[in-house]
Amino acid sequence: MSWLKEFVTREDWWSVWIGFALLASVFAGMVSYVPGIPQWSSPLSGLPASLILPLVLLMLGAGALTTIAVGTLGDNTGAYIRAFPAVFVLATVSFYIAANEVLAAFGLGYALWALVLGLIISNIIGTPDWLRPGVRTELFIKIGLVLLGAEVIFGRILELGQYGLIVAWGVTPVVLLSMFWLGFRRFGLSPSFAMVIAAATSVCGVSAAIAVAGACRARKEELTLAVGMTLIFTVLMMVGMPFLAQALNLDPIVAGAWIGGTVDSTGAVVAAGQILGDDAMQTAAVVKMIQNILIGIIAFGVALYWVARIEPGSGGRPQLGEIWNRFPKFVLGFIGASFIVSFFLVPLLGGDAVDRAIDVTSDYRSWFFCLAFLSIGLESDFRQLGKQMGSGKPLLLYLAGQTLNVLLTLLVVWIVFSGLIFPRPEF
């Protein structure tokens, strides 16, 4: 019965169980609210006293669930219980900073602040030994990704975006593979680093980067750099792309699709599209959401490619059993959550009920992502980051890939959305 034992002795499976338990608690109606920090302009309004108790309860709940996993995996639960509250408090600080209305307007979100805070602590103060047991990057990322899977709903988006499908799914694989080839074969970057940068640029930024990083077991420093570049360029593109679209005198629908296919984070896509009008914003949002569906498919493909080709083990081409053994199981959790919500819960509960539930699960997901980014920062070393970035090749890869992405997407959206070849879509 060793195969049964695997279900409780591997972190990947624990991330699936915890993710599914949280999803079940929400979809069964047992949890209808997860606390979050409200947007603030004056410092005190960001953390009202009424929020303290819900935050403490969230910390206890998340701490209890992850402690079970940590204990079953054979690690020191006492040390984890002592460290987790401090990690949670730092995550709350990251959310608090990101909730400032000015920083939110520029898209400087919690992922950035969690990374920055973690990096400052680890590299200037030094991550204290007592805090280290609470730094469970892999577990937090994987739980967050299983929860993210529930947000990727197939049916409705596909119904709305047959044209977006051509843009998002046509261009994305071309850019992804071109960047991987360029980064790995030409620039000599490690395959995992090239793949994480490629996924962040071609799919949907940070979410894709962490999913693919988990699938190809990228190093923390590689993920930190890829996410850092993505976050900075997302702000620049959010500000710059509407200018460029206006300068090129693009039709709003063409411009919206262009923005949706190229700007990385979804919030920035909406913000940039909105400036060009309602049609542009809706087109941008639909294209982006269709692109977001690719996360699971690409993570699955990358995981399979990695265990079969990039890290096949010492025995050459691995057998099916070996591939299964080393396959990152959280990817199955991600895809499973997406399928269950898309094909069972939407028909069973209705779209509105599912939307309400996802509103809550997404808050859970944000907390686990925030804990993960903080942990990444707490484990990253500036010297290693400098070494990785030293040649400038990662930045060059990002710029080359993003340029290809922008040009190719413009060509495809013009063909698909301009109305010259296909009938114009109605929004």
Partner 1 sequence: MTSRKRTVLVIILFPIFVCLLITVLEPVATKGWLGPVPARNLEDGFDAGALFYTEVNLEELRRPEAANAGHLSRDMR
Assess 366 for contact with partner 1 (CB under 8 A): yes
Rounded alpha-carbon distances, angstroms, from residue 1 to 10, 184, 330, 409: 15, 41, 21, 51
Instruction: Name the 3-class secondary structure at 40.
Output: strand
Residues 35-64 that bind partner 1 (CB under 8 A): 36, 38-39
Assess 137 for contact with partner 1 (CB under 8 A): no
Assess 166 for contact with partner 1 (CB under 8 A): no
Residues 100-129 that bind partner 1 (CB under 8 A): 100-112, 117, 120-121, 124-126
Per the CB < 8 A criterion, the answer to whether 84 and 154 are in contact is: no
Q: How far apart are CA 369 and CA 86, in angstroms?
A: 16
Rounded to a whole number of angstroms, the minimum distance from the CB of residue 160 to partner 1 is 6
The site map against partner 1 for 191-230 (x = CB under 8 A) is -------------xxxx-----------------------
DSSP states of 126-179 as a string? ---TTTGGG--HHHHHHHHHHHHHTT--HHHHHHH-HHHHHHHHHHHHHHHHHH
Rounded to a whole number of angstroms, the minimum distance from the CB of residue 300 to partner 1 is 18
Using the rule CB under 8 A, which residue among 75, 311, 322, 359 binds partner 1?
A: 359
Assess 369 for contact with partner 1 (CB under 8 A): yes
Per the CB < 8 A criterion, the answer to whether 191 and 184 are in contact is: yes
Q: Which range of residues in 33-41, 67-75, 175-183, 318-326 is near partner 1 by CB under 8 A?
A: 33-41
Q: 49 exposed, middle or buried (CB, 10 Å; 0-12, 13-18, 19+)?
A: exposed
Q: Is 249 left (phi over 0), alpha (psi -120 to 50) or beta?
A: left
DSSP states of 266-277 as a string? HHHHHHHHHHT-
Q: Which range of residues in 12-20, 133-141, 276-284, 301-309 is near partner 1 by CB under 8 A?
A: 276-284
Residues that bind partner 1 (CB under 8 A): 36, 38-39, 97-98, 100-112, 117, 120-121, 124-126, 148, 151, 153, 156-157, 160, 204-207, 238-240, 242-243, 265-268, 270-272, 274-275, 278, 281-282, 285-286, 288-289, 292, 355, 358-359, 362-363, 365-366, 369, 427
